[in-house]
Amino acid sequence: GAVVSQHPSWVICKSGTSVKIECRSLDFQATTMFWYRQFPKQSLMLMATSNEGSKATYEQGVEKDKFLINHASLTLSTLTVTSAHPEDSSFYICSASWGGTDTQYFGPGTRLTVL
């Protein structure tokens, strides 16, 4: 149980384009989803917290107009990296939790490379 998927698993795009990453909870309803970014050999850095039906709460230093987050249903959240630049290249990981538990279950991650 508590399986989270992400799509795509990797993506390569040109600078200036937008990329959408999907995060799905497959066997539970996720009241809260989280988006993280991880650079090589570093820990996970939280970008934003998303509660279903509400606007996402962004961490300090994360541009909300650049990283658009939508959590329209209890099983799907999307992260859109707009006007991507090479410095946005990273490993993006989502996690999900449901009401009554604090435990977060992570997706397999999406490797974004911006050329």
Partner 1 sequence: GQQLNQSPQSMFIQEGEDVSMNCTSSSIFNTWLWYKQDPGEGPVLLIALYKAGELTSNGRLTAQFGITRKDSFLNISASIPSDVGIYFCAGQEEGAQKLVFGQGTRLTINP
Where do contacts with partner 1 occur on this chain (CB under 8 A)? 2, 4, 6, 32, 34, 42-46, 49, 59-60, 91, 93, 95, 97, 102-109, 111
99-103 own/partner pairs: CB under 8 Å, 24+ apart:
99/31, 103/2
- CA distances 31 to 7, 10, 41, 48, 101, Å, are 20, 26, 30, 14, 10
Of 19 and 23, nearer to partner 1 (C-beta) is 23
Q: How far is the CB of 95 from partner 1 (least distance, A)?
A: 8
Of 17 and 39, nearer to partner 1 (C-beta) is 39
Of 77 and 97, nearer to partner 1 (C-beta) is 97
Of 5 and 18, nearer to partner 1 (C-beta) is 5
Q: How far is the CB of 40 from partner 1 (least distance, A)?
A: 10
Whole-number Å distance between alpha carbons of 33 and 115: 28
Q: How far is the CB of 55 from partner 1 (least distance, A)?
A: 14
Q: What angle do CA 61, 6, 105 make, to 5 degrees?
A: 75
Are 35 and 47 in contact by the 8 Å Cβ rule? The answer is yes
